[in-house]
Structure 1
Amino acid sequence: MKDVTMGDDELLSLDRQICFSLNAASRAFGGVYRVALKELGLTYSQYLVMLVLWEDGELPVKRIGERLRLDSGTLSPLLKRLEAAGLVRRERGVEDERSVSVRLTDEGAELKARAARVPRSIAAATGLSVDEIDDLRERLARLTEALDSAVTRGLGG
C-alpha cells in the first residue's frame, strides 16, 4: 500500500528500504562474527549449527535445516566440514537410511565452553543494552512471521 504523504521517488530511495537496512546490518554482523569466531575455527553458519546441537542434542539433518531456515543443499556441506573438523558425526538411520542424524563429538561438546564468550562479545559490539537487544529480537521475530505469512498468502492478501 502506497503512503499518500510520500512521493514515489522518496518511497524508492535506498535509505528508505528496510531490506537494505537489514542487509547492511547483517553484513556488519558477519564482520563482527568473523572476528569473534576466528579462535573457534568456525564460520557463522557453522556456529549456528553448533548452537542448535548444543541446545537440542542429536537431531535429524531435516530438523536442523528447519531450525536454521537452511535447505539441505546449503546445510550438507556445512555438516561435512564440521564432521571433517571432528566436531560432529553424521549417521544414517538404521530403519530409514534416507534419514541422517547429527550429533556432537566430545570435541564438539567441549567447544561449547569456549563459545560462551561469543554472545557477550557480540552484545558488546552492538552498543545496545540487553533490553534493547531483546526488544529488537522480538521485533525481528514478528517481522519474520509477517513476511512469511505475506509470502504464504501471496503479498496481496
Structure 2
Amino acid sequence: MHQKISTGLTRVYKSVFGRGPTRTTLHLTGDVVLCVFEEAATPGQERLTALGRADIVHAAQIELQRAMVPEMSAIVEEATGRSVRACVCGFDAEVGAATNTFLLVPEPARTRTPGVTGAGDAAPVRVLPPVRPQRTTTSAAVVPAVDAAGLEPV
C-alpha cells in the first residue's frame, strides 16, 4: 500500500511541476497519511528563492499543490479503502521540500464484547473541532493562515 500511494502521488506531482522530487517518503499512522517530497523545488523556484522571492515561490507552490488535492486524494482513497476528509499542503522554499498530509475519515469504533479482549478494545476515535492556525513567519516569507481544510486564506 505504501509503495502504491508513494508512486501515485509522485506521478501526480511530476505531471504538474514537470519534474518529480528526488525522494518521496510516506508515513501512515491511524487516520493520517503524510507524504514528504524532498528536493521538490524546480530550478525556477530555486532561482527565485535565491533572489529573495521565497514568498512568491511558496504562494505558487501551495496553490498548485491544492490543485492536485482531488487527484492525490483519489490515490490515497483507492489504496487505503478509506475516504479523505481533508488534505493539508505544506512547502518550504528554502529547503525545497513539500508535504501533503491527508486526514482520513475515522473508522467506526468497534464494539466491545464483554470478557473478550483484542482489536475491538481500542477506544473510539474522537474528532476534535478544527483549530485555526496562527500566522507564522519563516526566514523568507510570511506564511498565511488557512482554514482547517487548508483551502482558503483566512
Query: Same fold by TM (over 0.5)?
Result: no
Structure (1 or 2) with the greater helix fraction: 1
TM bucket, shorter chain: 0.3 to 0.5
TM-score when normalising by structure 1:
0.32
